[in-house]
Structure 1
């Protein structure tokens, strides 16, 4: 302990001794314990706040001034602050995350130009100029084929090329002001997809290491953009697969029901045809991956009405829908397949039929939408449920006729593509007791 701390401790002991002397010896009658403690705490607080202890440091005006802590100034570094922007800050806002397009390339070139110490910045794909900012833009025009020999050299070698003289650039324009260049390839995995070019109108080229670092960062954004595209394509394919699951068996069964009704109740048959038309129109023409819950709810009720015409009193459906959930956006063609699974694999094979419950809620605190589909039907075989919970695709041949896990697995894969790890999809099932599916997704 330093000397200042010992001194503070001694002062506090003396202060408490003084408090005891005043409250217990000099005062008649002596003060109570509570009053003595309060007086001691007040005196201690005054001593600590007024004392320039080693923990607080000297007060201003006591010889040495204290200064607020600030980061030490860094020497000028080409990787550091330049025009108020850092490479790290630029990396977080690079527009190339949306892909290597002309607009994204132009905005990226404008963003990184102050950082790279170049007079002109160009971004190309493997064939043409996508963006050119700075001197030389009058003849290095966007949309034209690459004119410089150094660009083709960097693409061919797949590594950075530095040119120290105008002749090495290989621009066919006689009056081109560009004298030096650093050209780095942009790559996605092992595939070269373009170049980043930093030109100067003076004899010393831009720092190669700086251009390499920026090219690596841009390549990372392009790789993430390609992963996003692949994820969306996979999600599109899964959505198409879900549409295709509206199989001929369902259509065949409904048409048989309608044919039967046409002889006994023509008006109901006509209504069923209209509902079937609404059902397929929504399933086929729905654009995008999300829709308002109210639209999906209408789709579910249309499906249920068609199945109830087929199963009659054997199929009972109960709805418990929070009105707040109607305007939230949910993935299309997810709720209806869950209800269809409950009907097809839970109720249809039950002699006495059963009841399907659809419940939906919005939680404004966690900003989530929760959906539950449950039935009291035949349930799911344990091996199918085990494979589903383990994230493996159930085997229809192994599961027999009750493999609702296949449809649920497809839905789970699509939710993975749409939400990553920001959703939960839980399935509980007992043979003879029914199945419950709980889905929780981010509120949109």
Structure 2
């Protein structure tokens, strides 16, 4: 849980820093036609190149993407050439310098051994090219070295190399947190799938078996619904889907539950057509519907109604799942949702955690319930999510 909180906090911090950079850049751009003073222009250029370099460092220092970052770092440092040497010896560089790769490896090795910034005079009197190496340190470990070449290396470049190395370390750390967050989301999705299987699959197969001799055609239809539901629920690709795809899976799920409940299960759908293409986390609505059946309607002798609504709320799509079942004490529900070892409401807890990770505190589920008053669960997701395309996920 601490890792999740740290990842979320640093993710928010990274967003705040990016916002500040963009605001500063816009303010500078809105000044006089010449973009203000020389200092203003230099600041704007530095922000621009730093923002362009950042994405190429997030996946680690040994990937082919890093060479794209060195192009921007060379401009940022104003040096003749720049190299980033990863811990495994991979060299990514930009600029012209004789024997650049060999010099970068030699400098990086010295810096790694010492763990400190070092300046290296030129070995070639004709070129006069000198180098400065600064360690990229993550978790007290040198994961790479920034090497800048110039003729000569001045004090300003030495200080700047240190700052750039620290900035690179921050990008590598943020990339690691992004990867951890992705792995955590995948683990939670696997956990959710595991929770779906035992209870529902047993009940579904039992219901299908009950129709095999009395109504073979109905049994065949239910087998096909079961196949569609499981194919969707256990698909391997993607953490995101659309409202339309999730609703189709929910339709199959409810058909199987109707085989058990009969007329005791009523379903009402109210879906705004413009919300069908909204991108949502995979298996985010279905667990809410299953929770309504299991904990809302199943405990009551008379069953009840489930109402699923999807509304267009301008920049967001709001989805609600409501049942008129037994309801629950709000304090007891709160305790169960916060409990890590409680087998009840695990689907709702899992969905809530994933929504918070993706959309922040404002993305959390809203639950309205009370004893004998049924339960309503509300989720809101942004309609614009360019980074969460289910086709490219």
Name the TM-score, length of structure 1 as normaliser. 0.72
**Greater RCO, CA 8 A, separation 6+:** 2
* Superposition pairs of residues 45-124 of structure 1, within 5 angstroms: 73=37, 86-94=45-53, 95-100=55-60, 101-124=62-85
What corresponds to 1:150 in structure 2? Answer: 107
Cα distance in 1 for residues equivalent to 2:170 and 2:340: 36
Equivalent residues of 1:429, 1:436 under 8 A apart: yes
Deviations along 1:37-58, one digit per CA (max 9) or x if unpaired, are xxxxxxxxxxxxxxxxxxxxxx
Cα distance in 2 for residues equivalent to 1:114 and 1:234: 37
What corresponds to 2:184 in structure 1? Answer: 234
TM superposition shift of 1:147: 6.5
CA distance 1:378–1:72, shift in 2 (3 Å): closer
Q: Given the alignment of the two structures, is residue 298 of structure 1 paired with residue 244 of structure 2, yes or no?
A: no
TM superposition shift of 1:281: 0.7
Higher helix share: 2
What corresponds to 2:121 in structure 1? Answer: 164
Q: Given the alignment of the two structures, is residue 351 of structure 1 paired with residue 301 of structure 2, yes or no?
A: yes
TM superposition shift of 1:140: 2.1
What corresponds to 2:324 in structure 1? Answer: 376
Cα distance in 2 for residues equivalent to 1:87 and 1:229: 27
RMSD between superposed Cα atoms in Å: 2.8
Deviations along 1:195-221, one digit per CA (max 9) or x if unpaired, are 111012447576211111111112111
Number of equivalenced pairs: 351
Q: Given the alignment of the two structures, is residue 133 of structure 1 paired with residue 94 of structure 2, yes or no?
A: yes
TM superposition shift of 1:276: 0.6
Q: Aligned match of 1:430 in 364, 370, 376? A: 370
* Superposition pairs of residues 262-281 of structure 1, within 5 angstroms: 262-281=212-231
* Superposition pairs of residues 218-257 of structure 1, within 5 angstroms: 218-257=168-207
Cα distance in 2 for residues equivalent to 1:353 and 1:176: 89
Equivalent residues of 2:104, 2:147 under 8 A apart: no
Cα distance in 2 for residues equivalent to 1:443 and 1:177: 57
Cα distance in 1 for residues equivalent to 2:220 and 2:35: 78
TM superposition shift of 1:97: 5.0
What corresponds to 1:315 in structure 2? Answer: 265
What corresponds to 1:194 in structure 2? Answer: 144
TM superposition shift of 1:179: 3.6
SS at match of 2:328: coil
Equivalent residues of 2:275, 2:312 under 8 A apart: yes
Equivalent residues of 1:136, 1:176 under 8 A apart: no
Cα distance in 1 for residues equivalent to 2:57 and 2:382: 23
SS at match of 1:185: strand
Equivalent residues of 2:116, 2:134 under 8 A apart: yes
Cα distance in 1 for residues equivalent to 2:80 and 2:340: 59
TM superposition shift of 1:102: 3.4
TM superposition shift of 1:306: 0.4
Equivalent residues of 1:180, 1:199 under 8 A apart: yes
Equivalent residues of 1:358, 1:373 under 8 A apart: yes
Cα distance in 1 for residues equivalent to 2:123 and 2:362: 53
